[in-house]
Structure 1
């Protein structure tokens, strides 16, 4: 029976981390190893972890120390992982259903040569259940990277030994280290992957990679660099076309909020 390691990097996430932990405890597949890597929170996050630690029955390990950002936290967590399969569940996110890990384990057990599985995620605004964006990875191929499109990172599960061989997340990338890592996996390491047609994770709108125009420009530059460093030819203009696809992923709840903000409707 495969063990799955879940890594949660966190920093001052006391408002959302509980739902993350509860969604893991609620999984039907319970052969997991949970690692929380805290960046030195000061908002009560550490107290929350300590309070809930006993409920994980020795399956939770955590550290709290300064780090170099979220990708550094992910790398630290991966080094501590003891599972056969590893994946990321961010501290603002939670599993959409209780059978996510069961489906992941089933896929890997059915094919011992499989390196990676991935699927879909969706976005909500804050604690609302209204979907503002649905990110489907179904159309992804290795050629998609040149257009700036990747499988939804929070849905990606990889064999631990494959992650170790990949070298982990490159901390020279400030925002797009997940994109670069995936380009490396698919285009340089040529991993064998399978798409699972299911919604893995509910993500709260926000995150490191989508807050303002400056960060979007950084993403475009880093995406192009990631492709070029891994043998994929592209350009800033070509990578920028991903935003056209993102528009298609938006749901009515997003536009409702958009017009409310635009006209200051309260």
Structure 2
């Protein structure tokens, strides 16, 4: 049997209504070259009954389980272990695809990270669109993130590299920094809305936890002198002078490559 191009992984815990919304958005897709995997953390709110019914109705649900786990990243790792697709896509319960043709509009062309836009929903009338940059450098990821529910990640990036379960919120960010900045994996931004994001989730309602975890990881993995130098460089790039110089020398496109080389070189020196 031909392996699918895309493995959609949904992690759920006691969010039956959100899970149903996620499933409906997947079922409505015109795109069919996918499998769906659901990892439920032993929910007690009817989620298991929803999954059982869905399994009987859909041939796309290739695997599901309902059992206690060690948190969302443990669940995501379980999903990856059962995934057969060339690309991994996490669409967790409560999040849903923007329209029925969104997956069909994506070219899965072996780029390591394919990232689109995400709409963060705050209420029936309030939302914010998250639009990633066209190019990624270390400065961006040290300060910001790529929207996970709009990111399609090549399966090869999970070989011998699971999400860390000792972090509650930022393990997907760590995975991005490691692969896109330190390993230089390929990246492509596609300027289309991929998904609507449930802003009541853990990462949205516990911003201070995420900030503390990010600071902890940076202190443990990036020498202070390098981090401070990068922040100074970022402030310079944001200044009037910093914006003029790249236009004058016409070498702006090489900036991110130089930053990466500087980071790697300084890391080796200081270690």
TM-score (normalised: structure 1) = 0.77
Structure 1 222/152 Cα, relative in aligned 2: closer, same or farther at 3 Å?
farther
Structure 1 stretches (4+) deviating beyond 6 angstroms? none
Mean Cα displacement is larger for which, 132-141 or 151-160? 132-141
Structure 1 29/222 Cα, relative in aligned 2: closer, same or farther at 3 Å?
farther
Structure 1 17/4 Cα, relative in aligned 2: closer, same or farther at 3 Å?
same
Q: How does 1:11-160 map to 2 (within 5 A)?
A: 11-104=13-106, 106-108=107-109, 112=110, 114-125=111-122, 128=124, 130-138=125-133, 141-145=136-140, 147-160=142-155
Mean Cα displacement is larger for which, 77-86 or 94-103? 94-103
TM-score (normalised: structure 2) = 0.76
Query: How far apart in 1 are the matches of 2:141 and 2:60?
Result: 43
Is the aligned partner of 1:163 residue 2:151?
A: no
Q: CA deviation at 1:132?
A: 2.0
Q: CA deviation at 1:223?
A: 5.4
Paired residues, number: 229
Preserved contact between residue 5 and residue 108 of structure 2 (Cα < 8 Å): no
Structure 1 79/225 Cα, relative in aligned 2: closer, same or farther at 3 Å?
farther
Task: Give the SS at the match of 2:127.
Answer: strand
Is the aligned partner of 1:195 residue 2:195?
A: no
Query: How far apart in 1 are the matches of 2:69 and 2:193?
Result: 31
Q: CA RMSD in A?
A: 2.6
Q: CA deviation at 1:226?
A: 7.4
Preserved contact between residue 169 and residue 178 of structure 1 (Cα < 8 Å): yes
Query: How far apart in 2 are the matches of 1:59 and 1:30?
Result: 12
Structure 1 198/213 Cα, relative in aligned 2: closer, same or farther at 3 Å?
closer
Q: CA deviation at 1:144?
A: 3.4
Task: Give the SS at the match of 2:192.
Answer: strand
Mean Cα displacement is larger for which, 142-151 or 189-198? 142-151
Q: CA deviation at 1:225?
A: 4.4
Structure 1 120/64 Cα, relative in aligned 2: closer, same or farther at 3 Å?
same
Preserved contact between residue 35 and residue 61 of structure 1 (Cα < 8 Å): yes
Query: How far apart in 1 are the matches of 2:225 and 2:120?
Result: 29
Task: Give the SS at the match of 1:19.
Answer: helix
Preserved contact between residue 34 and residue 60 of structure 2 (Cα < 8 Å): no
Structure 1 188/220 Cα, relative in aligned 2: closer, same or farther at 3 Å?
closer
Bigger fraction of residues in helix: 2
| 2:174 corresponds to | 180
Preserved contact between residue 115 and residue 146 of structure 2 (Cα < 8 Å): yes
Mean Cα displacement is larger for which, 94-103 or 10-19? 94-103
